[in-house]
């Protein structure tokens, strides 16, 4: 019996879960995951010769406390399923993982995509607080001075 092409399994999973995605090329799925704290997480699923690569952008390089942000991420890594925090060459923070093609099943994709969504969303505010507190304070003061809405900064009011 021939193995099912993992690209078919991935596309079927994304369709069946009504996830917004596009095919960048024959091997790459660009997925937009909806969140609550982090409104969207952009995820790339890349089918290679031997494995499925999972890459999701979390936040850009922190402005403040970069070492504390990285320490927080490393401490979280021990409890994550199939993914880990990593940085790229410009020090932006991602979630990354790799899965053998033989293990690409509907259930495993569900677990990995769920892990990415959960950790990206639940980590967003703590990472923003650690890495961008000064920017939040400046933005808060600017909005107050202009009478602008503070609604989307409400989660960070304890910083000002």
What digits encode the pLDDT tens for the residues 78-99?
A: 999 999 999 999 999 999 999 9
Compute the distance between CA of residue 29 and CA of residue 6 in angstroms, rounded to an integer. Answer: 12
Q: What is the pLDDT of residue 1?
A: 47
Pick the CATH number of 6-129 from 3.30.1460.10, 3.90.1150.10, 3.10.20.30, 3.40.50.1110: 3.30.1460.10
Measured CA angle at 102 (ends 99, 103), to 5 deg: 50
The torsion of the CA quartet 135, 133, 130, 61, rounded to 10 degrees, works out to 10
pLDDT tens-digit map of 20-63: 999 999 999 999 999 999 999 999 999 999 999 999 999 999 99
pLDDT tens-digit map of 124-150: 999 999 999 999 999 999 999 999 998
SS3 25: strand
Q: What is the mean pLDDT of the chain?
A: 94
Compute the distance between CA of residue 160 and CA of residue 36 in angstroms, rounded to an integer. Answer: 22
Q: How long, in residues, is the chain? A: 160
Q: What is the pLDDT of residue 132?
A: 95
Distance of CA 81 to the CA centre of its chain: 14
């Amino acid at each position: 019996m021939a193995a099912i092409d993992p690209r078919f399994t991935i596309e079927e999973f994304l369709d069946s879960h009504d996830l917004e995605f596009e095919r960048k090329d024959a091997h790459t799925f660009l997925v937009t995951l909806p969140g609550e704290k982090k409104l969207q997480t952009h995820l790339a699923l890349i089918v290679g010769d031997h494995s499925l690569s999972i890459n999701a952008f979390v936040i850009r390089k922190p402005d403040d406390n970069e070492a504390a942000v990285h320490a927080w991420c490393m401490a979280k890594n021990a409890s994550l399923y199939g993914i880990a925090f990593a940085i790229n060459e410009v020090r932006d923070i991602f979630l990354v993982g790799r899965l053998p093609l033989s293990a690409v099943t509907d259930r495993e994709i569900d677990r990995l995509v769920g892990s990415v969504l959960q950790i990206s969303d639940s980590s967003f505010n703590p990472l923003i607080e650690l890495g961008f507190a000064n920017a939040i304070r400046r933005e808060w003061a600017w909005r107050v001075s202009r009478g602008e809405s503070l609604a989307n900064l409400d989660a960070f009011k304890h910083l000002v």
